[in-house]
Structures are given as C-alpha cells and as structure tokens.
Amino acid sequence: MRNVSLTRFLIEKEHTNHLITGDLRLLIEVVSRACKAISIAIGKGGLADVLGGAGSDNVQGEAQKKLDVISNEILLEANEWGGHLAAMASEEMDHPYQIPHRYPKGEYLLLFDPLDGSSNIDVNVSVGTIFSVLRCPEGVEPDEKAFLQPGAQQVCAGYAVYGPTTLLVLTLGDGVNVFTLNRETGAFHLTQENLRIPADTREFAINASNQRYWEEPVQRYIGELLAGKEGPRGQDFNMRWVASMVADVHRIMTRGGIFMYPKDRKDPGKAGKLRLMYEANPMAFIVEQGGGAATTGRERIVDIQPTALHQRVPVILGSKNEVDRVTGYHA
C-alpha cells in the first residue's frame, strides 16, 4: 500500500483525472478534520463529561445524547466559513443551516448525520458520522427544496467509524477507498483501495425483535436464512446486529453481508426507520460504488425523488445477490 495521505489522494484526483474541483477537495478535507475532532471528543468519554443525555430532543422526537449535540456543532463550525458551501442540513436540525452572511458561499450542499448510532455511545460500541455532498442547483436559493435531489446526484459521500481505529470511508463516484487516522500525526492515510463487497454472503444484519411486524417478503427471506442447511438455501447463515448503521455497514463493506431495516407495521405512519437524506442515500451510494446493491425492497434507493428533508425509507443493502433476492420477493 502506498503511503498516501488523504490530502495527497484528493490532489491527485483533482489534477490527474479532474474528478473533483478544488472547492470539493477542500470541503472533504474540512469534513475529515471535523471527524477527527469528533473522534477526539468520543475518545475522552467520561473524562470530559460528554456521555449521557443532552436533555433535549431532535426533530424526529428522539432524545439527544450530549455527543449528538457536540458532533453537530463541530461539523457546523468547521464548515461554515470555508467558502465551499451554500448551506448545510443535519439530522439533528429542523431546517437547513444557512451560511452566515459574513462568510463567502460556495456551490455545494453538505448533509450529515453527525453521530450515527449514538444510543450505543454510553456502552463504548463503535459509532460514526455519515455525510453526503450535492451541488446546489444554479440560481436556486439554498433552502430545503435545494436539498431535495435524488441520491444519484451525489458528488461525494462517506462515513467515519469511531472504533478501535478511526476510519474514513469515501467515494467520489469512482470506487470506495478507506483512510485510517494516524493518531500520532493527526492525518488520515490511505489503507484500502477500491473496496469491493462480495456478491454472495452468509451473514445478515436485522433487528429481529421487530419480526412480528415484518411484511411477508421479509418474513420469507429471513425464514429461509434461519432454516440453514435444512432449508431451501442449503447453507447456514450468521446474524450480526450492532444497532449502529455505520458499524453494520462497514462490516458488510469489509467482508460482505446484507443489512436490512425494512418497512414494517410497527408504526404504520412511518414509511421506514432510516432517513433518506442523511443515512440511506450516502450509504446506498457507497455500497453501489463497492459493487453492492441498495433498495427499499421495491425500488433503488438513489433513484427516489425526496419530498422532505427528514423523509424516512426502508433500507436493504449489501451483497448484490442477496439484495436482489429480497427485492425479487417484494416484486
């Protein structure tokens, strides 16, 4: 593996094949520095009194952790002044965050889930940050409507995993690369190139406690997996469930598998559990760039035309042959 820093990697992409602009390169670097700051805050844990609840709810009515609020502020403050963005949107905020007038504005829109899986933070389980970059339509005010673009129009997506090591997984639309944070130098370095998801798998990730609410296609699929060698699949499958989307998806990116948060009858008023703009779209883009597939069970996720900033959708993603099978059962 070449000893390539994230900065050098991005400069090569800018100059060699003109895949990204200078502004997008600088934007990604700023996001990476914000992720490093979040990693440091998480690493301090109880020593810095950052664990536990914040005493407030987010726009979805979910109780916020202190680190939800801290991570959100880190990303906002790091990105508001660089001149690369027209606006930002966060899972933790009701409305888009407008760039203050005292700072220059750019052509990009940044969306993020500042701390995915934060319900696990107090028990020291891996959590992460998910982000997505869109172009602001020319001549359009950077309000909520500007963000409502299908995931296929993303110019960049990535996530950070805060675990035993801090990783940054990134796609610019030409494959998936992994960078590891060197805690001694404070720089991200390329450690895996062109990450590929195996098309077949024997691992699945799903919240089995919701089984009684699943639709028939999901009941059928999971039933086949649980039947193992004696069932129609003729082989045993293992279930892995961290309840942190970043951790579950990164395992799939690394060794294959299928992640499912399907539509169910638990809350009929919600189309799904996960947010299209902050979780489903960026993860679907990354998974597809790694050779996998991502659908709702009925349609490709990145083809969905968003109707609201905090829209929820069902998510089925990972190894292509398994995702295709579940999607076929829905059809």
First CA to last CA across the chain, in angstroms?
43
| pLDDT at 79 (0 to 100) | 96
* 269-to-130, 263, 305, 314 alpha-carbon distances in Å: 25, 11, 19, 13
The residue ranking higher by pLDDT, 233 or 17, is 233
**8-state DSSP, 277:** I
Phi first, then psi: give them for residue 176, nearest 5 degrees.
-120, 130
In whole angstroms, give the CA distance from residue 195 to residue 28: 19
- Reported as a single tens digit per residue, the pLDDT across 133-152 is 999 998 888 999 999 999 99
Beta bridge partners of 206: 260
Going by their DSSP bridges, the two strands 315-318 and 274-275 should be labelled as: unpaired
In whole angstroms, give the CA distance from residue 97 to residue 95: 6
In whole angstroms, give the CA distance from residue 176 to residue 154: 14
Domain range 6-192, CATH class:
alpha beta
Residue with tokens 């440091």: 40
Look up the pTM and report it.
0.95
On the question of pLDDT at 250 being above 80, the answer is yes
Q: Which two tokens stand for residue 154?
A: 């993303």
- What are the residue ranges of CATH 3.40.190.80 in the chain? 203-330
> CATH 1.20.120.330: does it fit domain 203-330?
no
- What are the residue ranges of CATH 3.30.540.10 in the chain? 6-192
| pLDDT at 140 (0 to 100) | 83
